[in-house]
Amino acid sequence: MEETQRDHLTWGLLEEEREEEKQKKFDMSKYYFGGDVEMAVVKCAIDLGMADAIANHGRPMTLLELSSALDCDLQNLHRVMRFLVNHGIFKEIIIRNEDTVPTAYYAQTHSSRRLMRTGENSMAAFILMQSSPPAKAAWHCLSACVKGKATSAFEVVHGEDVWKHAEANPAQSQLINEAMACLARVIVSAIIDGCLDMFEGVETLVDVGGGTGTIMRRLVKACPWISKGITFDLPHVVSLAEQCEGIEYVGGDMFEFIPKADAVLLVAVLHDWGDDECIRILKKCRKAIPKDKGKVIIVEVVIGNKEQQKEDNKLNDVGLVLDMAMMALTHKGKERTLDEWAYVLREAGFSRHTVRSIAAIQSVIEAFPA
């Protein structure tokens, strides 16, 4: 070991690292109150229906108009709006007329539209699910997971995994389904814009863990050659799905059986599971498709996907955040690197696979048995 390195390890930090340390101390402030405050204020905006009120009004609103529409305390609403404007979630527009005092109006932004309860761009249910007491409680037990003393942080708190807990708690189950539908809308748009060609020649498609069918409904419209789309999920989930022509809903357990089709789609499902479970699910998928021309389409985060990193490092940051969420909420679930994906696919008997980026945090992996 070189002298300077030994000095560094033995005697403390070099000058430039002291500088870095100072910088980090400043950055640490976000962890003192951190994301919890942002999440709570954004949830408050959803609960009160702030974005919906401005949308219904049809034009930006003054504080007085907003407080009367939402039946809120004027001062407290002002403080919350100041926070949200400062975070770029709503916009404040000041109108100055010659003969009147300047008036502030609150206007929508791309971000605030995500807080609306309904609509294609709504992420409200996803935020409500992540900030719901069952999900939040799990984060407090993350250290037990890291120590390897717990099956999952969620199970430490609730005594059962997310899916069993949801089955026993219909309101939480509905929240999860709605949250997944928010994500599904974003992902399916990216799939349709970026790689619809991968469904060419696919006449029957099964979406495993397809929730209440948001993805399949959009895909069968975008690919009229798909004559049968099957949404497969746990029975208590598919029982709530909206019936739609050309779509069959099948309830079951993917560890036991997967309906046969030309191709299997798995969107944000495998990251809920450890490698052994993934391999078991993928083997069932392989059995469900034709050996010669079948394929499994996996839409998942690929940690360290170089192509995406070049475009926007933030995408990779989100992948790492999701990886922490998998640790808190699932037993052995994780976001995987390219090598980790190659491992589970090889073990499940797939001879080759390709990876491509889409305009989402997730990438698309196509895996072929032959």
Ligand X SMILES: C[S@@+](CC[C@H](N)C(=O)[O-])C[C@H]1O[C@@H](n2cnc3c(N)ncnc32)[C@H](O)[C@@H]1O
Which of 116, 138, 180, 303 binds ligand X (CB under 6 A)? It is 180
Which of 6, 255, 320, 321 binds ligand X (CB under 6 A)? It is 255
Q: Which two tokens stand for residue 110?
A: 């791309």
Which of 211, 294, 333, 369 binds ligand X (CB under 6 A)? It is 211
Residues 227-246 touching ligand X, rule: CB under 6 A, are 233-234, 237
Residue 63 touching ligand X (CB under 6 A): no
Closest to ligand X by CB, 52 vs 233, is 233
Size of the residue set binding ligand X (CB under 6 A): 19
Residues 258-277 touching ligand X, rule: CB under 6 A, are 267-269, 272
The two most distant CA atoms of the chain are separated, in Å, by: 77
Nearest to 138 by CA among 330, 363, 354, 351: 330
Closest to ligand X by CB, 60 vs 211, is 211
* Main-chain dihedrals φ then ψ at residue 255, nearest 5 degrees: -80, -15
Q: Concatenated DSSP letters for 239-268?
A: TTPPP-TTEEEEE--TTT-----SEEEEES
Which residue in the shown chain puts its C-beta closest to ligand X? 209
78 is catalytic: no
Consecutive H or E run containing 94:
strand 91-95
Catalytic-role residue among 110, 140, 165, 271: 271
Q: Is residue 128 within 8 Å of 179, Cβ to Cβ? A: yes
User: Minimal distance in Å, beta carbon 183 to ligand X?
Assistant: 5
User: Minimal distance in Å, beta carbon 31 to ligand X?
Assistant: 27
Q: Is residue 105 within 8 Å of 60, Cβ to Cβ? A: yes
User: Minimal distance in Å, beta carbon 233 to ligand X?
Assistant: 5
Closest to ligand X by CB, 61 vs 284, is 284
**Region from 3-11, 27-35, 95-103, 178-186 binding ligand X, contact rule CB under 6 A:** 178-186
Report how far Cα 281 is from the mean position of its chain's Cα atoms: 21
The residues, ordered by sequence, that sit 6+ positions from 161 with a Cβ below 8 Å of its Cβ are: 152, 154, 155, 330, 331
Question: No. of H helices and E strands in the chain?
Answer: 19, 11
Residues 97-156 touching ligand X, rule: CB under 6 A, are none
- In the DSSP assignment, the letter for residue 159 is S
Where in the sequence numbering do the catalytic residues fall?
A: 271
Site residues for ligand X per CB under 6 A: 163, 180, 183-184, 209-211, 214-215, 233-234, 237, 253-255, 267-269, 272
